[in-house]
Amino acid sequence: MPTKALKTRQARYLIAAVGIAAVTAALRLLGGSINPTTVALAMLLVILFVAASWGSGPAVVASVFGVLGLNFFFLPPVGTLTIADPDNWVALSVFLITAITAG
């Protein structure tokens, strides 16, 4: 595989992760005035853009980072990777399913 193609491929994965990080940071600035559903939809939009642009691989990376960001920063108990409400597992699994299906 040519070096340029490898760098481009790596850049896609990096952009996927940075996209989720940017959305997470922007939504964190809004503080408590934003609900987890809005956060999940914003992250899902990033995952869909990544999947449509670069396929399943980078979309799965965005999905994993989205799950971690949503869980740690927005779902109670905030600041942990513990999910208090079992219904939130549905939302988190939708990230991965969307990434694979759309990619």
Phi, psi of 71 (to 5 degrees): -65, -50
Dist. CA 96–CA 47, nearest whole Å: 9
Dist. CA 69–CA 54, nearest whole Å: 21
Question: Measured in Å, how far apart are the chain's first and last C-alpha atoms?
Answer: 22
Which of helix, strand or coil describes residue 87?
coil
Model pLDDT for residues 1-41, shown as the tens digit of each residue: 556 654 688 899 999 999 999 999 999 998 777 888 899 89
For the chain, the domains span 3-102
Strands (E), 1-103: none
Model confidence, pTM = 0.83
- Give me the pLDDT at residue 37, please: 85
66's tokens? 């989205």
Query: For the ranges 1-5, 91-95, 98-102, which has the lowest average pLDDT?
Result: 1-5
